[in-house]
Amino acid sequence: MEYGPAPESTKEAQAWLEQHGRTFGLFIDNQWSEPGELFASTNPADAAKLADLTQATGSDVDRAVAAARAAQPGWQALGGHGRAKVMYSLARLMQKHARLFAVLETLDNGKTIRETRDVDLPLVARHFYYHAGWAQLQAEEFADYRAVGVVGQIVPWNFPLLMLSWKIAPAMAAGNTIVFKPAEFTSLTAMLFAEICVQAGVPAGVVNIVTGDGRVGEAIVNHPGIDKLAFTGSTEVGRLIRVATAGSGKKLSLELGGKSPFIVFDDADLDAAVEGLVDSIWFNQGQVCCAGSRLLVQESVQDKFLAKLRARMDKLTLGSPLDKSMDIGALVDPVQQQRIAGLVDSARAEGCEVYQPKCEIPANGSWFPPTLITGASTSAAVAQAEIFGPVLVAMSFRTPPEAVQLANNTVYGLAACVWTENISLALDVAPQIKAGVVWINTANQFDAACGFGGYRESGFGREGGREGMYEYLTAKSEDARPASPVVEAKAKAKAAAPAAGGAFAIDRTAKLYIGGKQARPDGAYSRAIHGADGAFIAEVGEGNRKDIRNAVEAAHKAGGWAKATSHNRAQVLYYIAENLAARGEEFAARIAAMTGSKNAEKEVQASIERLFYYAAWADKYDGLAHQPPMHGITVALNEPVGVIGIVCPNEAPLLGFISLVAPAIALGNRVVVVPSEAHPLSATDLYQVFDTSDLPDGVVNIITGSADELARTLATHSDIDAVWRHDGSAEGCAEVERLSATSLKRTWVGGAKGRDWYSTAQSGGRAVLAHASQVKNVWIPYGV
């Protein structure tokens, strides 16, 4: 049976545009500015112009930031209940005007009305309701945290209003004020939202909206008055933002691209999986960061599954997005259509088979038919690049391990789907996939209560859930951090240059510690370490790039540590503490000799306590069971980040080392540590403690030498997942952030400020554990 056309009326939306003279200024301090230099927003389904928008200037961004800054204390002072009431009112108004928003979004973006009406708008309202709740509970549930301040938020065009709500709702709830930039293709629903803010009683300056292209984004990113940036968009721009903000102290979350696997095992309900796949890759024309764009199907059911899929593709309807019976609408802009066509043509040229159902493509606007590519090699461009269109690339696998290996064969790590009727298999595979979200027997589920965000080059930070709230909060203990202590210049200067005759002196040198073994430095150089009185104490190896490489390899080989039980990891930490205690006097004497500290004994005791502290946490840093509105559960797992490079502080050389290494290994990470450059000997003395504490080889690797040089190597190494630097070097920390952009590693840097390593508030707690972990949300629907 054919469906007749069922067009949604655009009368109200067109009237709203007319009411504004189809021209918009900027929304700053609850006022509309006079329109400035204009650019057009068009309907991608028929290329008709909808309205003109203002390209904001640098001084417009200045005004927006100033308004946000001025409004922040008042917004904070309104209190959790005050903010909750405003946000609740926003949610109500969004619901009331849902149809107008949905039609406007469809006109502006080209996505089907079925999606804007049934998916985007309900989720938008849900985000404001849910986060109104966090505002209400903030004082109780986040008592040790405060709002970050003024946040800059930049979003793409694929879910214009939904991304707005993901960004603005948690930021407002936490007490921040906002400078928001929609994507230049799709700004209209943000303009309508601005009006709703005024109606809902959002105080002036809390939400400011500036429109324009990437230049406006850059002005926000570089603005000194911004305390935090939240970006969703391409990995390429995410990298630029990481570089631009390096060393600025701005908090950053990046939600970037993906090439998400959709895994179908042979025992899956194949019909349900086909429907899941339709949602996964053809929802929003595939312009979805977490689109299931790589089908991995078990070889034994491949032919059957692909036959079902092709038959289903033949039934997909493509046409006017305002028609309620359409499955596939228009692409956002001709530029995307050309990009997608180029990638599909290249696959054809490489001999891939390209299947597209026969469908009528409208004469105007930008369109692309649903497409299935088979026969691509795993390294083909279509198998690796984010196509961001309705194009599925199918491959097969034989065994579960092969499925996992193929799933992880990408630089991205945003999402994955696993389809099988075998719960043991599903729950075995889900943790092995490097992705921030795993959907089991379902696809593309989103909710305000569940965290969303990536691993690897898909970015860092989470949106939604308790985990998402932390992105807009700062631990109060950060405010109490002292000025950076000045490391004794003398000791540092003497330590800097490799000792003359180092190669000769090597046998008297404390070696490096790699894979559980003491190793000579590759360069065969060493450096002299002097005490507080300037006298020579010992030499340590001068580690180089090759040593780091070996250490990283050893750390990867120790992957079993991540799978060890948390009870087991805790036991090892307790054992290290016990063995350190047994040699407490020796360590205290070493610290005193190196630093001249009168508190050396206290430092050893504090280090032992810190080991106990993180041993205690190892099996208590539980994840969460979120309850989104579905018949099922979403389990938020705290997973280790992987291999972490750590550059330790010079002050408190033992306590600083332990305070960084212990939380990392407690949660299952493996580490490559550069101990204090000036006072490394209490770290090299630990080798024997580790050797006698059942710590598996390769979990902790220690490379002594130049902090700057080794940090640089850690930050650029492609197999390291995160770098922490806490030696008080502002320039060094900035460099780590800048260099980490290449592979988008996570970073945790102390900057120029110091840290009271004795204070658990400053050097312990969930804020530290959050750096040592990343949250994976596994969606598990109940029932059949």
Interatomic CA distance for residues 69 and 66, integer angstroms: 5
Give the nearest residue (CB) to ligand NAI. Answer: 217
392 vs 475, which CB is nearer to ligand NAI? 392
Q: Is 651 in the site for ligand NAI (CB under 6 A)?
A: no
Q: 58: part of which helix (H) or strand (E)?
A: helix 58-77
CB burial class (10 A; 0-12, 13-18, 19+) of residue 559?
middle
133 vs 257, which CB is nearer to ligand NAI? 257
The nearest distance, CB 332 to ligand NAI, in angstroms, is 8
Q: Which of residues 318-347 bind ligand NAI (CB under 6 A)?
A: 336, 339
In this structure, what DSSP letter does residue 7 have?
B
The nearest distance, CB 336 to ligand NAI, in angstroms, is 6
Which tokens is 784 given? 């059949």
Which residues is 778 bridged to in the sheet? 438, 635
When binding is defined by CB under 6 A, the residue of 132, 172, 200, 237 that contacts ligand NAI is 237
Among candidate residues 8, 115, 255, 639, the one labeled active-site is 255
Beta strand pairing call for 473-475 and 145-147: antiparallel
Task: Decide: 637 and 625 in contact? Cβ < 8 Å.
Answer: no
| Side-chain half-sphere exposure of 369, counting CA atoms within 13 A | 17
The nearest distance, CB 46 to ligand NAI, in angstroms, is 21
When binding is defined by CB under 6 A, the residue of 133, 160, 170, 217 that contacts ligand NAI is 217
Q: Is 683 in the site for ligand NAI (CB under 6 A)?
A: no
The nearest distance, CB 706 to ligand NAI, in angstroms, is 33
Which tokens is 718 given? 């492609």
Which tokens is 466 given? 């308790």
When binding is defined by CB under 6 A, the residue of 214, 225, 515, 516 that contacts ligand NAI is 214
Q: Is 120 in the site for ligand NAI (CB under 6 A)?
A: no
Q: Which stretch binds ligand NAI (CB under 6 A): 50-58, 149-157, 611-619, 628-636?
A: 149-157
The nearest distance, CB 487 to ligand NAI, in angstroms, is 36
What SS3 string covers 307-343? HHHHHHHCCCCECCCCECCCCECCCCCHHHHHHHHHH
Query: Residue 133, SS3?
Result: helix
Q: Is 156 in the site for ligand NAI (CB under 6 A)?
A: yes
Q: Is 183 in the site for ligand NAI (CB under 6 A)?
A: yes
50 vs 537, which CB is nearer to ligand NAI? 50
Which residues is 391 bridged to in the sheet? 371
The nearest distance, CB 511 to ligand NAI, in angstroms, is 45
When binding is defined by CB under 6 A, the residue of 256, 344, 672, 681 that contacts ligand NAI is 256
When binding is defined by CB under 6 A, the residue of 154, 206, 430, 594 that contacts ligand NAI is 154
Cα–chain center distance at 613: 27
Total of chain residues touching ligand NAI, rule CB under 6 A: 26
Q: Which stretch binds ligand NAI (CB under 6 A): 236-244, 293-301, 375-383, 432-440?
A: 236-244
387 vs 734, which CB is nearer to ligand NAI? 387
Q: 393: part of which helix (H) or strand (E)?
A: strand 391-397
The sign one gets for the Cα dihedral 490, 672, 648, 471 is positive
Which tokens is 555 given? 């750390």
Q: Which stretch binds ligand NAI (CB under 6 A): 209-217, 363-371, 585-593, 660-668?
A: 209-217
Q: Is 741 in the site for ligand NAI (CB under 6 A)?
A: no
- Angle, helices 121-141/79-96, rounded to nearest 10 degrees: 170
120 vs 685, which CB is nearer to ligand NAI? 120
The nearest distance, CB 611 to ligand NAI, in angstroms, is 41
When binding is defined by CB under 6 A, the residue of 109, 165, 232, 509 that contacts ligand NAI is 232
Q: Which of residues 356-395 bind ligand NAI (CB under 6 A)?
A: 386, 388
Q: Which stretch binds ligand NAI (CB under 6 A): 154-162, 188-196, 461-469, 722-730?
A: 154-162
The nearest distance, CB 776 to ligand NAI, in angstroms, is 18
The nearest distance, CB 42 to ligand NAI, in angstroms, is 15
In this structure, what DSSP letter does residue 374 have?
E
When binding is defined by CB under 6 A, the residue of 14, 95, 234, 743 that contacts ligand NAI is 234
DSSP of 409-477:
-SS--SEEEEE-S-HHHHHHHGGGS--SEEEES--S---TTS-B--SGGGEE--BSHHHHHGGGEEEGG
Beta strand pairing call for 251-255 and 261-264: unpaired
DSSP of 153-216:
EE--SSSHHHHHHHHHHHHHHTT-EEEEE--TT--HHHHHHHHHHHHHTPPTTSEEE---SHHH
53 vs 417, which CB is nearer to ligand NAI? 53
Q: Is 218 in the site for ligand NAI (CB under 6 A)?
A: yes
289 vs 686, which CB is nearer to ligand NAI? 289
Interatomic CA distance for residues 593 and 497, integer angstroms: 20
383 vs 683, which CB is nearer to ligand NAI? 383
Which of 465, 437, 757 has the alpha carbon at shortest distance from 627?
465
- Say whether 255 is catalytic: yes
The nearest distance, CB 213 to ligand NAI, in angstroms, is 5
How many residues make up the chain in this entry? 784
Catalytic residues: 255
Residues binding ligand NAI (CB under 6 A): 154-158, 181, 183-184, 213-214, 217-218, 221, 232-234, 237, 240-241, 256-257, 289, 336, 339, 386, 388
